[in-house]
């Protein structure tokens, strides 16, 4: 996604430029229970590395910590529908092999 930014050069000059911002990878499923997590799901949770789980697994199985990196989770933001056509969600399912998920 292209965003505009302004950079200051020295004390007086400002230049405007566009940069291609990295996109969040919207994974289609929970890495733990493999349930579907569509792009507009309010149940999706991600860590800072975009490991993706459902709210259920985060609370009941993972104790709020990512089994891959140990980090915390936050609700995955929802990409506006109009932008999903241009910047679609990932279709590559990721399923991890975590002790907490086997139960």
Give the footprint of Zn ion on this chain (CB under 5 A). 30, 32-33, 47, 49, 51, 54, 57, 66, 68-69
The nearest distance, CB 68 to Zn ion, in angstroms, is 4
Residue 92: closest CA among 46, 43, 44, 25:
25
Closer residue to Zn ion, CB minimum distance, 26 or 66: 66
Closer residue to Zn ion, CB minimum distance, 40 or 59: 59
The nearest distance, CB 66 to Zn ion, in angstroms, is 3
């Amino acid at each position: 996604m292209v965003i505009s930014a302004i950079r200051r050069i020295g004390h007086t000059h400002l230049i405007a430029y566009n940069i291609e911002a990295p996109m969040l990878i919207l994974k289609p499923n929970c890495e733990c229970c493999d349930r579907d997590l569509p792009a507009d799901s309010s149940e999706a949770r991600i860590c800072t590395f975009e490991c993706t789980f459902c709210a259920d697994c985060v609370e009941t199985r993972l104790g709020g910590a990512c089994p891959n990196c140990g980090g915390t989770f936050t609700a995955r933001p929802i990409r506006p529908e109009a932008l999903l056509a241009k910047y679609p969600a990932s279709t590559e399912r990721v399923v991890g092999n975590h002790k907490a998920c086997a139960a």
